[in-house]
Amino acid sequence: MKREKEATHSHAAQESGKGQNPEHVEKRILVVDDDTSVREMVSRVLVGEGYLVRGASNGAEALEIAATHQIDLVLLDLNMPGQSGWETFERLTTEHPLLSVIIITGRSNQVFTALGAGVGALLEKPLDFPQLLQSVSRLLAEPPELRRARTAGRASEFYYNSSHPKKTE
């Protein structure tokens, strides 16, 4: 029920044109995080930019939504009950090979796994929303050939934002 409410809220915001960016019209994003506050906050930010957003609280729900709705990009948490984020990623990209995925996680040391798996971006929590929006925009604009190259393990752009402050000397 909550998922339907999020989808309806997102669709209504899109229809009303509030915060709508013409570049983002009809771009559909799935936000997958078991933490309701994170899922809702990220969804609000994306809706404010004019994206259509659906939410899922676990991997199984995400796979169900991806199977029944057109999705252009997934924001995926790694730490979830039941099916892990990496298991969900593998299933999503096997069933939808051109689907771009941004991993959002509180786990450290995931950059090499993400690179090897063909993830489009890795953003560590706490999220930097301007960086998130920039990564979303870049990946949605990316041509299918680059997505194929990344998932095949060939060199391609990868966006990484660490939550750890940079040291200055």
- The domains of the chain, with CATH numbers, are 2-159 (3.40.50.2300)
pLDDT at 94 over 80: yes
- Cis amide linkage into residue 126, ω under 30° from 0: yes
95/89 Cα distance (integer angstroms): 10
Calculate mean pLDDT across residues 28-50: 97
What pLDDT is stored for residue 95 in this prediction? 95
pTM (two decimals): 0.81
Q: What is the bridge-based pairing of β-strands 28-32 and 73-77?
A: parallel
- What are the E-state strand segments in the chain? 28-32, 52-56, 73-77, 100-105, 121-124, 159-161
What pLDDT is stored for residue 149 in this prediction? 82
Q: How many contiguous H segments (helices) and E segments (strands) does the chain have?
A: 7, 6
Written as six digits, the tokens of 48 are 């404010």
Per-residue pLDDT band at 26 (split at 50, 70, 90): confident
Listed residue (32, 34, 43, 125) closest to 80, CA to CA:
34
Calculate mean pLDDT across residues 129-139: 96
Angstrom distances, CA of residue 72 to CA of 1, 82, 166, 169: 23, 24, 32, 41
23/25 Cα distance (integer angstroms): 6
User: What tens digit of pLDDT does each residue of 41-72 get?
Assistant: 999 999 999 999 999 999 999 999 999 999 99
Position with higher pLDDT, 157 vs 107: 107
What pLDDT is stored for residue 145 in this prediction? 87
The rounded percent of the chain whose pLDDT value lies above 90 is 60
Written as six digits, the tokens of 88 are 């969900």
Written as six digits, the tokens of 26 are 């009809």
